[in-house]
Chains A and B, each alone.
Chain A
Amino acid sequence: ETGVTQTPRHLVMGMTNKKSLKCEQHLGHNAMYWYKQSAKKPLELMFVYSLEERVENNSVPSRFSPECPNSSHLFLHLHTLQPEDSALYLCASSQDRGVTGELFFGEGSRLTVL
């Protein structure tokens, strides 16, 4: 098993659809993240969870709704998205809050909103 697994890898949805992205980490980490990667833009932090508690929400529109049922799983629920939300959504994990360590990224979910 790879360290951080994301599904689906590709998703096409209409603006009225509801879908979810899933992330699972097998590294025993306590912190998980959602990042958005758009073309020619820096990685944008969306949400951080530490020990299943949300600790960061960088002014993300409410059409994105995260869920962290346990320290190994992270979801991003999507509804009524806009075409400008089309991007690569990367999940990552790190060892622990308060310990500066590298991020371990999943392969990403490529989202296209029509």
Chain B
Amino acid sequence: GQNIDQPTEMTATEGAIVQINCTYQTSGFNGLFWYQQHAGEAPTFLSYNVLDGLEEKGRFSSFLSRSKGYSYLLLKELQMKDSASYLCAVSPDNYGQNFVFGPGTRLSVLP
């Protein structure tokens, strides 16, 4: 089966750093994605990891360890607009279209 776990909710303070973890157990692995979804809006792509290590993109970074089935999304210099749900998704097969999503982590950034 396919399983992805994330914390349900997190709270952090404006200006701080927060790390959102994701663990996965899938039949195969062809990449891990992070999406951001504001309430009432479409999910938007944040990052993609297929090799082990850290990918940095501005205030956001994503890390992957394939041997541990583990990823995290790191958000630095938090802003109020970062309050959203963060979805971890894995592509488990070589066709690249069968994405398995985690339940999402709802992040609240407080002033």
Contact = CB atoms under 8 A, between A and B. Distances in A.
Interface in A13-71: 31, 33, 40-45, 48, 50, 55-56
Contact of B98 (A44, A45, A101): A45
B87 A43 contact: yes
Contacts of A31: 97
A33 B97 contact: yes
Contacts, number: 60
Given A42-B102, A103-B43, A103-B45, 4 more contacts: A33-B97, A41-B103, A94-B96, A103-B33
Say what secondary structure dominates the interface of chain B: loop
B95 A102 contact: no
A4 interface: yes
B44 A105 contact: yes
A85 interface: no
Contacts of B103: 40-42
Contacts of B45: 102-104
A97 interface: yes
A43 B101 contact: yes
A64 B96 CA distance: 24
Contact of B42 (A45, A90, A102): A90
A1 to B, nearest CB: 15
B74 interface: no
B84 interface: no
Given A100-B50, A104-B45, A42 B96 contact: no
B30 interface: yes
A101 B41 contact: no
Given A42-B103, A50-B97, A107-B41, A100 B87 contact: no
A86 B89 CA distance: 23
Nearest to A90: B42
Nearest 9 CB-CB pairings of A with B = A100-B96, A102-B45, A105-B42, A43-B101, A42-B101, A42-B103, A107-B42, A105-B43, A100-B31
Interface in B73-111: 87, 89, 91, 94-104
